[in-house]
Amino acid sequence: MDFYKRAALVCQQIPRGKAASYGQIALLCGKPKNARQVGYALSHGLAGEDVPAHRVVNAKGILSGAAAFATADLQKQMLQHEGVEVFWTEDGWRVDLKKDGWKNTMEDALYLREEFSKKGI
């Protein structure tokens, strides 16, 4: 299994105007305990260049990937440009995952599983 290729494919499924957590991506990759590996892949470009990494936040909705972007507020700006509300908390910039989170379905999970199989990843 190539986890990074799986993570790229899952991230590409996150709809514009929605956010997903690192843990959600890991779960859809078939490795539910690998949320940190998702973060590593996104911050080091291991998932590829065309991955919408700005749509991935931590489990609390906190934008934690600032170091991986050209400027500290680029992730926030990109999310806002897509219509995602980003607000300040004492923990940092945050999105409301209940409102703007990607509610993937079982059909999404089955589609991804089939794609992983087709691609041999």
pLDDT 10s digits, 5-43: 999 999 999 999 999 999 999 999 999 999 999 999 999
pLDDT 10s digits, 62-85: 998 777 888 889 999 999 999 999
Are the CB atoms for 62 and 97 separated by under 8 Å?
no
Question: Measured between alpha carbons, how far is residue 110 from residues 21, 24, 103, 107, 114 in Å?
Answer: 19, 15, 14, 5, 6
C-alpha 25 chain-centroid distance: 6
Q: Could you state, in order of their start, the residue ranges of all structural domains in the chain?
A: 3-119
Question: pTM of the full predicted structure?
Answer: 0.94
The CATH number fitting domain 3-119, selected from 1.10.10.10, 2.30.29.30, 1.20.140.10, 1.10.630.10: 1.10.10.10
- Under 8 Å CB-to-CB from 65, ≥6 apart: which residues? 39, 42, 43, 53, 54, 56, 57, 75
Confidence of residue 1 (pLDDT cuts 50, 70, 90): low
